[in-house]
Amino acid sequence: MKKNIIISGVGGQGILTIATVIGTAALSEGLELKQAEVHGMSQRGGDVQSHLRISSNPIASDLIPEGKADIIISIEPMESLRYVNMLHKKGGWLVTSMNPFNNIANYPPIEDVLNAIWKLPHYVTIDANRVAKDLGSIKAANIVVLGAASPFLDIKYESLEKAISSIFSKKGDDIVQLNLKALKAGKDYADERT
């Protein structure tokens, strides 16, 4: 088993939480893992991405080679496009929130962004903000997106659930339940459409 995952978004949107959940789940299944993060300068409202590699065998490079990402998980639609050069042409999935984070003057029309995504062979686009809000808090939008990506990760769904329970446990049971529901809602959405 080997999965190359790119997680992307805007600094401050919580992409590292997604990486931590997948990473914790992967470790619980005894898999090897490497995860390159972005710290420093680019965190401040700029584009950020993380390369997460999980495998049943040792992993050499911290960076995913171009064209070898199995999945892009993005909390922001335009940011998902920034890394399509990394996506595997055969079978690579792009899973992204449809909600733009507009902190720049020249953000393109959102229809153009979505149309570019919809040209790809395999994608899931989800209104994660609305789904999360309906469940109780927009803060869980990143976990909704993770849920929508969960069918393509080759990690047991229960492992992801367990990881969420342990990672959010410090914040209280309400937050754990919210995020478990967010994960499920994302997964159901993806299952219905693929």
Residues that bind another protein (CB under 8 A): 10-11, 23, 27, 32-47, 51, 59-69, 78-79, 81-82, 84-89, 92, 103-108, 112-113, 116, 119-120
Pair of tokens at residue 98: 């449809």
Nearest to 126 by CA among 190, 83, 79: 190
Output the smallest distance, CB 127 to another protein, in A.
20
d(CA 143, CA 138): 10
* DSSP type of residue 65: P
* Tokens (6 digits) for 107: 């953000």
Least distance in Å: CB of 23 to another protein? 7
Q: Report the residue number, 60 or 192, with the smaller CB distance to another protein.
A: 60
In contact, 121 and 88? CB cutoff 8 Å: no
Residue whose CB is less far from another protein, 113 or 153: 113
- Indicate the residue among 92 and 147 with the shorter CB distance to another protein: 92
**Residue 187: CB minimum distance to another protein, A:** 25
Tell me how far, at minimum, the Cβ of 165 lies from another protein, in Å. Answer: 18
Exposure of 19 by Cβ count < 10 A (0-12 exposed, 13-18 middle, 19+ buried)? buried
Instruction: In angstroms, give the least distance from the CB of 189 to another protein.
Output: 23
Q: Which is nearer to another protein, 139 or 184 (CB)?
A: 139
Based on CB atoms, which residue is closest to another protein, 64 or 128? 64
Total number of residues shown for the chain: 194
DSSP one-letter code for 5? E
